[in-house]
Amino acid sequence: MYNFLMRTYQKIMYLSSFILPWREPELIEGQDAEDKVLQLLEAKGWKSVLFITGPNIYRRGLPISLIDKLKAGGIHLSIFNETLPNPPIVQVEECVKLFKEANCDLIIGFGGGSPMDLAKATAARIARPRKSIPKLKGVLKVLRKTPPIIAVPTTAGSGSEVTLAAVITDLEHQEKYAINDPQLIPDYALLKAEYCASMPAHVTASTGMDALTHALEAYIGKSNTKYTRAKAESAVALIFNYLIPAYKDGNNLEARAKMQLAAFDAGCAFTRAYVGYVHALSHALSAFYGTAHGLANAIILPYVLKAYGQSAEADLAKLARQNNLVIDSASDQEASAALINEIIRMNAEMNIPEHLPEIKVTDIPALVHHAIKEANPLYPVPKIMREAELSKLYLEIKGPSEDDSSTAQPASQEEAAENAKSEQEKLISKAFARCQTFYQSQITKNLRFRKLELRKLKKTIEESEAEIYAALKQDLNKAELESYMTEISIVKEEINYMLRHLKRLAKAKKRIPAISQAPASLKITYEPYGVALIMSPWNYPFLLTLGPLVNAIAAGNCAVIKPSAYSPATSALIKRLCQKAFTPGLVEVIEGGREENQALLRTDFDYIFFTGSPAVGKFVMSEAAKRLIPVTLELGGKSPCIVDQSADLKKTAKRILFGKLTNAGQTCVAPDYLLVEEKVKDELILELLKGLEKAFPSADYVKSNYVKMIQPKHFQRMRELLAGQKLIYPQNARNLFPASEQYGQLYLNPETQQIMPVLVDEVSLDSRLMQEEIFGPILPIISWTDQAELLRSFKDKEKPLALYLFTKDSDFIKKALNSISSGGVAINDTLLHMASSKAPFGGVGNSGMGNYHGDHGFYTFSHERTVLKKSWYFDVPMRHHPYSKRALKILKKLLA
């Protein structure tokens, strides 16, 4: 029944195709092709052109000869050279605006598939100005004459110069879809071999095999016609004869020209006869892993052809005979196998791998779902496949894992480490290059694009809330309430703030020019740095990764983010969320540990944002200094909590415990130690003990809701810090943490890596507890009697990230704020000073440099650029040589 329904749909589509207004683009070929284009424009009376191309193509200078030829002929050109892969809707709207402003007559799409997609989508919007791109998606939604399109391909593969489809990315709804209408078939196709001459060998290989895939899938499908079969046969013959020569010698213009014609013919074939499972499987891989489409097609093609079996044998055998791959007496089975083997041989000769090991077995069900959703029932394949068959194909394409290779020779530890390091550095280099290329496309300068990306991130977070809870539970044993309160909600608030205020923040600020600058206009603009590196810690792995990322994106940067290896579940989740939420190339995620950190710091980023310990922060700054990379360092330190006798002790105890129990004290701004006026010390300790007893009602509650130490070594460090100290702990500790024979301590639970909050009485200032940032649920308590002496004691101490004061004495507050320098201050509470997007958060001295949140986060990731526009009407003559004493006198009066 399933197959019957699929075939019925395909038959209806096939019959409907005979009434569509198909056309084939008029070919413009030869050495004088550019002259022919100019002659065409002159003959048609077209004077103004919208010229759409891509940043890399434009940078390489490929379109310059055509542009110069048209300009010399008096043609006005509006050039858009920022096309992104699978161009987003925002770029379509920019091109529509350019077309209308310049009153253009036609569109030239110059490049690979993406510039042509953008050209066609722009033409569709111009033909149907009242329909948005989402309303144009699907089949036959244009149905009106578009502006003329001249397609100029620079790769031999996409065939976009002849197709009716424009593939566009809808960033707001996280979709990639096609507008399909015969009206979008370009009117002309300019084929010039020189445009492909500089194409790298690996691109030649993958785009050539892409064209072969188009031709073969059209040929063996059930919607082919006499016309499509002829075009496919022509394309296959050209590719078998000329792809390898073009690959081996990029300057072989005959081979380049023949491959362009092959792509043209293949495009004509698959436009009317459709493709098949090779494309469906390939598109899923591109969506999940960013695998290059042509490369994926080349690898997948022989596997799918084999899987079709007898259903495609006769057609493949015919092609094999036509191309002299077998003798005439060979059976269809033998001939079909010979053609598949020829594809495998060509792949090997062009260094195209046999497998795609990046495929994850756990992703295969989702990949299969993606592929089936695309292919069935649209593609008229020779054999309809279901989940099991496509799953098997993905496993074959993945290839054997390292664990399955029993015959492999074991490498030495040194060789293995070097190989791993080399591969990881390659991975980092590629990630950085993707971001750099994306940034150079200029799309991040568009505020609408930034907002769309932030909305997509927010939507992804909301849809993935359960996964976030699970990851934080696995890494830190965080309760859902604490996860939402301290991580998810703050990231969402930061996104909301940026969405509300981005236009204001990004707007240039006007300034009054100095006398020496007048007459002129003066303003400050906010430019993104470029590609930022964001290195985050494990204690708030979600918040401290995505919080700075929101600011970086809002400011127009691309980013490579490096979550902590100590929180692997959250790090892996962040990678998946970013792959789902963001346009490829905007954000890259690198997982790993120390080696990856060091490799990243050897990369030429434009900005580094680091959150972690002061010790590592110094190393980061040292590495950044070697390349003069600006940095923000969000560090830590020993944040004091001072209580005097005027404080409300019951509320003070409750709020101190909030700061110390949150994340089990693993917070950079947690109260590190308590300085309490001696008169109220005992009373405050009593309130703290009451608060602890109330906070932890049962052992089950502790196990389920209280955060653990992130790693066994951190647990051990807490234990070592407590050695020899005078300890105070809740009376019910025995019920919560049964005594351990190994440790003999009531407050330690090595099985769960949890440590009961411990109060330590009258700690020596020379002890490790007072020399190191604690970063755990230990609270040293020290009494004081003399206020002035207390404040003087901070003169020789490192500047902390936070200062906490509990008092009703306004005079004491003024003195403390004047005497103690810190990153931030909270009076009569803890932690909350950092929770608002309306105020900056950051350290000073040993606790860091720079700040973020809200406006300050935007400015942190922005370069403030002064722009002076000088008037032509007046110039100060005395500033120019030759100088004179009279000029000096006048200058002194003017500038005094």
Please tell me whether residue 224 adopts helix, strand or coil conformation: coil
DSSP string, 252-302: -HHHHHHHHHHHHHHHHHHHHH---HHHHHHHHHHHHH---HHHHHHHHHH
User: Which among 270, 288, 94, 86 is positioned nearest to 169, based on CA atoms?
Assistant: 86
Give the other-Cβ count within 10 Å of 68's Cβ: 12
Give the other-Cβ count within 10 Å of 714's Cβ: 19
- Record the tokens describing residue 806, joined without a space: 């509990």
User: Three-class SS string for 741-765?
Assistant: CCCCCCCEECCCCEECCEEEECCCC
CA–CA gap between residue 268 and residue 218 (Å, rounded):
10
- Record the tokens describing residue 545, joined without a space: 């990764």
Residue 270 and residue 215 in contact, taking contact as beta carbons nearer than 8 Å:
yes
Give the other-Cβ count within 10 Å of 860's Cβ: 23
User: Three-class SS string for 86-155?
Assistant: CCEHHHHHHHHHHHHHCCCCEEEEEECHHHHHHHHHHHHHHHCCCCCHHHHCEECCCCCCCCCEEEEECC
The residues annotated with a catalytic role in the active site are 634, 668
Matching residue, tokens 């493709």: 275
Instruction: State how far the alpha carbon of 21 is from the alpha carbons of 232, 266, 470, in Å.
Output: 21, 19, 54
User: Angle of helix 201-220 relative to helix 332-349, nearest 10 degrees?
Assistant: 160
User: Which among 569, 473, 587 is positioned nearest to 533, based on CA atoms?
Assistant: 587
User: Angle of helix 226-248 relative to helix 253-273, nearest 10 degrees?
Assistant: 150
Q: First and final CA of the chain: distance in angstroms? A: 92
Question: Based on the number of CB atoms within 10 Å of its own CB, is 814 exposed (0-12), middle (13-18) or buried (19 or more)?
Answer: exposed
Q: Which residues pair with 511 in a beta bridge?
A: 522
Please tell me whether residue 694 adopts helix, strand or coil conformation: helix
Please tell me whether residue 856 adopts helix, strand or coil conformation: helix
Instruction: State how far the alpha carbon of 726 is from the alpha carbons of 698, 750, 781, in Å.
Output: 25, 21, 10
Phi and psi angles of residue 873, each rounded to the nearest 5 degrees, phi first: -80, -20
593: which residues sit within 8 A by CB, 6+ positions away? 565
CA–CA gap between residue 278 and residue 371 (Å, rounded):
9
User: Three-class SS string for 571-616?
Assistant: HHHHHHHHHHHCCCCCEEECCCCHHHHHHHHCCCCCEEEEECCHHH
CA–CA gap between residue 451 and residue 455 (Å, rounded):
6
User: Angle of helix 33-44 relative to helix 64-72, nearest 10 degrees?
Assistant: 40
> What sign does the CA torsion over 136, 137, 140, 145 have?
positive
Matching residue, tokens 């005959």: 254
Phi and psi angles of residue 863, each rounded to the nearest 5 degrees, phi first: -90, 120
DSSP string, 780-849: EEEEE--HHHHHHTTTTSPPPSEEEEE-S-HHHHHHHHHH---SEEEESSSSGGGS-TTS-EE--GGGEE
Residue 290 and residue 387 in contact, taking contact as beta carbons nearer than 8 Å:
no
Residue 805 and residue 825 in contact, taking contact as beta carbons nearer than 8 Å:
yes
